Amino acid sequence: MQILQDSFGRKFPYIRMSITDVCNFKCGYCLPNGYQVDKNDRTKFLHLDEIKRLATSFSELGVLKVRITGGEPTVRKDFYDIIKILKFEAGIKKVSITTNGYQLNKKAKFLLDSGLDGINISIDSLKRETFSNITSHDRLPEILEGIKILQDLGFENIKLNGVLLNGVNSSKEDFEMWSEFLKINKIDFRYIELMRTGDNLDYFNKYHVSSKIFKNYLDENKWVVQTRGKDSGPALNYIHPEFKGKFGIIAPYSKDFCKSCNRLRITSRGDLRLCLFGNTGISLRYLLQRDDQLNELKNLILKQMRFKKESHYLELGETGLTTNLSTTGG
């Protein structure tokens, strides 16, 4: 089997596949004005047959895991069908999603019934008012209720993400609230350092803070870095013997962040992106129309691997094609 490997020896068993740019939240760091329809772009999002062919090709190239992203992926009416296609028809071993948790209390059972293996939920704060201010939605209670339902149904692969924002959710009080949560919940929570995109420079300058402030908190409270697995991505995970859950840090501005990169990205309209902040993308969609195009599709993907750069060069101020994080799944 041919596998996806770049010129730096990195292998890519993991795909982040966006299925829509639409999101029903208005998070300040991503879509502060909500999703805006581009009236000049009439291209539709990938449909089911295209998704199946794309995922099948990646599976045959050694991809084991697909994370469905957006936008907010659950806004698609065929969302559960997409999970089933990836899991039971395209040969993907692990299917997970990243979601804002909208109506999770109503969707939890359907997610499990569809064959989902993992879920990442964006929760930037456990303070209801702060959560509402960041997202423009007062929905934290229903999201926490949905998490409890997932736990009661025996679903264990639950991860929570929060974007670290200076003066908003970066205080010791915020960290302590998450500590109390993880003491009794077998869940991972990870702070993501705010990243600059093409349209958020002012926001970035106002709210960016180094994840070192959270790392210092973990060090002071005797959290220990967990040894990375063979196929682990760039996140640093922390464990503590007195806590059921784990903390994590995703620090894209840290040295050697890209050394452990193990993922490629697909946009909602079928472009292959070698990096979230890359300057180039290539459309795969014309090779997703018939089953007899799969070999040509795989060859094209393999050829693109030599163009993957060693780093995203965020520290140099480069943001590539990413105008905001809804366009390629963040």
pLDDT of residue 36: 79
pLDDT in tens, 273-295: 988 767 678 999 999 999 999 99
Q: Note whether residue 281 is domain-resident.
A: yes
DSSP β-ladder status, 224-225 and 236-239? antiparallel
Q: Which of residues 83 and 199 earns the better pLDDT score?
A: 83
Structural domain containing residue 68: 14-158+257-316
118 in Cβ contact with 96 (< 8 Å): yes
User: Per mean pLDDT, which range of 22-31, 192-201, 204-213, 314-323 is the poorest?
Assistant: 314-323
Short-list 233, 229, 273, CA closest to 249: 233
Residue where the block lists tokens 């129309």: 289
Burial (CB count <10 Å: 0-12, 13-18, 19+), residue 29? buried
pLDDT in tens, 152-178: 999 999 999 999 999 999 999 999 999
pLDDT of residue 46: 97
Q: Note whether residue 111 is domain-resident.
A: yes
Q: What is the DSSP letter of 88?
A: I
Contacts of 50 (CB under 8 A, 6+ apart): 270, 285, 288, 289
CA–CA separation, 17 and 264 (whole Å):
9
Cα angle 210, 211, 212; round to 5: 85
CA–CA separation, 321 and 330 (whole Å):
12
- The helix or strand, by DSSP H or E, that contains position 108, with its residue range, turns out to be helix 104-113
DSSP β-ladder status, 14-18 and 65-69? parallel
The domain tally of the chain equals 1
CA–CA separation, 29 and 309 (whole Å):
26
pLDDT above 80 for 314: no
pLDDT in tens, 86-134: 999 999 999 999 999 999 999 999 999 999 999 999 999 999 999 999 9
- The token pair that represents 189 in the structure block: 């929570």
Contacts of 164 (CB under 8 A, 6+ apart): 170, 191, 192, 193, 194, 209, 211, 214
Handedness of CA 296, 63, 158, 27 (dihedral sign): negative
Percent of the chain predicted with pLDDT > 90: 78
Q: Note whether residue 277 is domain-resident.
A: yes
- The token pair that represents 295 in the structure block: 């070999």
pLDDT above 90 for 318: no
Name the band, by pLDDT with cuts 50, 70 and 90, for residue 317: low
Q: Note whether residue 169 is domain-resident.
A: no
Q: What share of the chain is helix, strand, coil (3-state, %, to 5)?
A: 35, 15, 50
Please report, for the domain that includes residue 100, its CATH number: 3.20.20.70
Per-residue pLDDT, averaged over 76-85, amounts to 97
38 in Cβ contact with 76 (< 8 Å): no
Question: How high does pLDDT run on average in the chain?
Answer: 91
Q: Note whether residue 146 is domain-resident.
A: yes
Q: Note whether residue 237 is domain-resident.
A: no
Percent of the chain predicted with pLDDT > 70: 91
pLDDT in tens, 203-227: 999 999 999 999 999 999 999 999 8
pLDDT of residue 33: 84
Q: How many residues does the chain have?
A: 330
Identity of residue 278 = G
Per-residue pLDDT, averaged over 33-48, amounts to 83
**Quick one: how far is CA 153 from the chain centroid?**
24
Q: Note whether residue 203 is domain-resident.
A: no
Q: Note whether residue 225 is domain-resident.
A: no
Contacts of 12 (CB under 8 A, 6+ apart): 3, 4, 5, 6, 63, 261, 262, 263, 264, 305
pLDDT of residue 63: 97
| pTM of the complete model beyond 0.85 | yes
CA–CA separation, 236 and 175 (whole Å):
16
